[in-house]
Chains A and B, each alone.
Chain A
Amino acid sequence: MIRYLLSRLGGAIPTLFIIITATFFLMRAAPGGPFDREQILAPEIMANLERAYGFDQPIMTQYGRYLKSLAHGDFGPSFKYKDFSVTELIRQGLPVTLLLGAIAMALALIVGIPLGTFAALHHNLTADYATMSLAVLGIAIPSFVVLPFLGLLFGVYLHWLPVAGWEPGSIRHLILPTVALALAPLAYIARLTRGSMLEVLRSHFIRTAVAKGLPLRTVILRHALRPALMPVASYLVPAVASIMTGSLVVETIAGLPGIGRYLVQGALNRDYTLVLGMVIIYSTLLIGMGLAVDVLYVWLDPRARHLKGE
């Protein structure tokens, strides 16, 4: 078990390293740079700027330098947000993004799993069709359409919740963005749970549990749920990816001070270090999630302990 996890960790680090390296060199290979302005700078000033940021060095030296500072947790200076280092920007924004993502993920799981189970228990009845129609709706409609609609309804017309903005510690400002963000993974989780629950409910051990007179609630909670959650567990990594993607627009629309908008701004401004830092943070989160799912798998399916222990 531990050896299996160590081998997975051993696989994750080279992957991250390749992503960092590829991103670094691809961005440097691109024509244009962060100092391109409409107003052309004097060559001396350009040279000074490039020297200040180390661009006059050979590219391999720059790469080595970047990796070295990265190992110290320093993502380098931002080119557009003057006076800020990328590390500072991340330290400010990451908690907001993580909070938003964690609540959305929790919401998706807490609502999605019971909803899918509910639909499976009412297989081919109206309740099943209604839930699954809602699920298709949730999967099909993107968060950047849902959030303005919700804002219009609950903010502009009903005045129940703020449309946008952020106050530290204010839950009210987070409700609409997290709901919009959670909707797609929630719908997908409901669909996955329903499908696998239907399969599990047909299996022999469930028939045995029902036959010995256990109440339905016990059958579901004690016996059916754990195996039925396997597909949901393997969906967790794509779910995190979907929430990360969604948070880019949701933060922009709702005016939340997370790191999502830095990636977009960085891309528009060709702010190399900022984009690189964001890519590193996001891929680390995703790879970390992948490792967490591996642990979860072993807990959900005891067979995996033997298969993967070898």
Chain B
Amino acid sequence: MSDLAVDAVRRLRSNSAAITALCVLLLLLALTLLGPWINPNSLQSIDWSHIAAHPGTQSAHWFGTDRLGRDLFVRTLAGARVSLSVGLVASAVSLLVGISYGAIAGYFGGRTDHLMMRVIEILGGLPLIFFVILLTVIFGRNELVLFLSIGAVGWLTMARIVRGQTLSIRRREFIEAAVASGARAGRIIVKHVIPNVLSPVIVYATLTVPQIILFESFLSFLGLGIQEPRASLGTLIAEGAAEMEAAPWILLIPGGFLAALLLCLNLFGDGLRDALDVKEGG
């Protein structure tokens, strides 16, 4: 590790909020991944003797059951697995698209840059959620479309950040040296530009994951995302909100889980930003 990275790790470790967030995050992740082995109930099975049961340790349903007698512990963790995988895959897509788009626009500059930024400006003219809704209207509601469309709209800010950084290093000597030694543009971008814009990229990527999880649960909440019988945290919250007067835990448990997840991701991302000393907004 370079000195800079050691320095960043030291700064991160002295940030107690970020470290606590990371620990809680790892705990939630472990729970999400190991959930099926911890609790024997299955995702779909209906327990007729426990319909909308209270949470507690008396029965096998630690978080209670929903209106159909399905175990909430298992459903919440399964929902979290779906939400997290959407968050990670879609973030990876947006990362890939955003970095290449931004680096190309920033490196070539001039008319190419102008045109590429114009496209981003037009796409940015609408709230991102509207694009995703439009795309689900066009391609129908299925999960692949959901993954791709969220990823496809999540890259705008990343592209802007990478472009700004690229513009600022484009005139530096090491790029000039690479050009002088005859390297092709593609090679310079991959070998010299991208490694030098990594810290804002890492920070923004950490902050993209919670945003995308939020998007996904938002769409699922509205009935435009993940469909029954599959569940994500958004669909579980929608179910819970419908039952909240009679059985508030059906809302509180997935709602609390989502809130904790997003809070920890945000706190950790903020800590990372401070540690790597990246200015807000790139």
Contacts and interface: CB of A to CB of B under 8 A. Distances in A.
Interface of A: 15-16, 18-19, 23, 26-27, 29-32, 133, 136-137, 139-142, 144-145, 148-149, 151-152, 156, 163, 195, 241-242, 244-245, 248-249, 252-253, 263-264, 266-268, 270, 275, 279, 282-283, 286-287
A163 B126 CA distance: 31
Contacts of A245: 127-129, 218
Contacts of A27: 134, 137-138
A142 B258 contact: yes
A16 B126 CA distance: 10
Given A142-B217, A148-B244, A15 B125 contact: yes
A156 B259 CA distance: 21
Contact of B126 (A32, A266, A282): A282
Nearest to B258: A145
B255 A145 contact: yes
A268 B251 contact: no
A19 B251 contact: no
18 contacts: A15-B125, A26-B134, A30-B138, A133-B17, A136-B267, A140-B259, A140-B262, A140-B265, A141-B263, A144-B241, A148-B240, A163-B245, A241-B127, A245-B128, A248-B129, A268-B224, A275-B133, A287-B125
The 3 closest A-B CB pairs, nearest first, are A30-B138, A241-B127, A140-B263
Given A27-B138, A264-B223, A270-B137, 11 more contacts: A16-B125, A140-B265, A141-B262, A144-B241, A149-B255, A152-B248, A163-B245, A245-B127, A249-B218, A283-B130, A286-B125
Contact of A264 (B133, B139, B217): B133
Contacts of A26: 134, 138
Could you say which interface size class chain B belongs to?
Answer: 35 or more
Contacts, number: 118
B71 interface: no
A19 B137 CA distance: 16
A295 B214 CA distance: 32
A252 to B, nearest CB: 7
Interface in B129-185: 129-130, 133-134, 136-140
Contact of B134 (A18, A149, A275): A275
A242 B210 CA distance: 15
A144 B233 CA distance: 11
B277 interface: no
B222 interface: yes
A286 B126 contact: yes
B244 A23 contact: no
Contacts of B234: 144
Contacts of A268: 223-224
Interface of B: 17, 121-122, 125-130, 133-134, 136-140, 210, 214, 217-218, 221-224, 234, 237, 240-241, 244-245, 248, 251-252, 255, 258-259, 262-263, 265-267, 270, 280
B138 A136 contact: no
Contact of A279 (B126, B224, B270): B126
| A-side interface mostly | helix
Nearest to B280: A195
A249 B125 contact: no
B216 to A, nearest CB: 11
A195 B279 CA distance: 11
Given A137-B263, A152-B248, A264 B130 contact: no
Contacts of A148: 237, 240-241, 244, 251, 255
Nearest to B238: A144
B218 A283 contact: no
A151 B252 CA distance: 12
A267 B149 CA distance: 15
A124 B133 CA distance: 42
Nearest to A272: B137
A246 to B, nearest CB: 9
Contacts of B122: 15, 18-19
A126 to B, nearest CB: 14
A264 B224 contact: yes
Nearest to A148: B241
B134 A142 contact: no
A140 B268 CA distance: 12
A145 B259 contact: yes
Contacts of A133: 17
Contacts of B17: 133
Q: Which of B128, B241, B251, B270 has the most CB of A within 10 A?
A: B241
A263 B127 CA distance: 13
A142 B222 contact: no
A16 to B, nearest CB: 8
Contacts of B240: 148
A23 B131 CA distance: 9
